[in-house]
Amino acid sequence: MIRGVHHTCITVSNLERSIAFYRDFLGLELLFTEESERSQDDRSRALGIAGAKVKLAILKAGEARVELIEYVTAGGRPYDRQVNDVGAMHIAFQVENIDEVYRRMVDHGVRFTAPPATIPAGPMAGWRWTYFFDPDGVSLEIIQTA
């Protein structure tokens, strides 16, 4: 039976650039990196990608882990999903002061869909949130709970 969520994974086009964004800019803790020296048959089978050679990093935000993976061989297509596309996902990072975080990120050129919005009613009333994009255009969220 499922005991919990171990990690979330994001495929990236450039691992070093993404580590700089998630660690140095967003403040996630880098736990480790790994690079396969060659295509590993068991990894390729598990991924369903023949000849997959990868570089990856595991980062931590609170108790949540985020895996960043770059396919060195057998690279895929650039990410171009909209948040309403079936299968589109995002990670929501909890912050204490969304306005301060939003301003800092905008000042550093991070692209947002809109300024933070406040949920007016219901079980999430008072929560504030907005979507932004990582260097590969992957949708992410910052949220401040009431």
pLDDT digits (tens, 9 = 90+) for 77-122: 777 777 777 877 899 999 999 999 999 999 999 999 999 999 999 9
By the 8 A CB rule, do 66 and 84 touch? no
Classified as helix, coil or strand, 6 is coil
Q: Residue 67, Cα to own-chain centre: how many angstroms?
A: 8
By the 8 A CB rule, do 53 and 36 touch? yes
pLDDT at 38: 57
Please tell me the distance from the alpha carbon of residue 85 to that of residue 117, in angstroms, as a whole number: 21
pLDDT in tens, 6-39: 999 999 999 999 999 999 989 999 999 998 765 5
Residues of the chain with CATH 3.10.180.10: 8-71, 91-144
Give 130's Cβ-side CA count (13 Å radius).
Answer: 19
Cβ-based neighbour number of residue 59 at 10 Å? 22
pLDDT at 47: 74
pTM, entire model: 0.87
Over range 44-62, report the average pLDDT: 85
Is the model's pLDDT at 3 over the cut of 80? yes
Phi-psi region of 37 (alpha: psi -120 to 50; beta: other; left: phi over 0): alpha
pLDDT at 134: 96
Task: Spell out the CATH class of 91-144.
Answer: alpha beta
Is the model's pLDDT at 67 over the cut of 80? yes
pLDDT at 92: 95
Work out the pLDDT band at 142, boundaries 50, 70, 90. Answer: very high
State which fold the 8-71 domain adopts: 2,3-Dihydroxybiphenyl 1,2-Dioxygenase; domain 1 (3.10.180)
**Residue in this structure with the two tokens 């907005």, named with its chain if needed:** 130
Q: In this structure, what token pair is assigned to residue 90?
A: 């995002």
Rounded to 5 degrees, φ, ψ at 29 are -90, 125
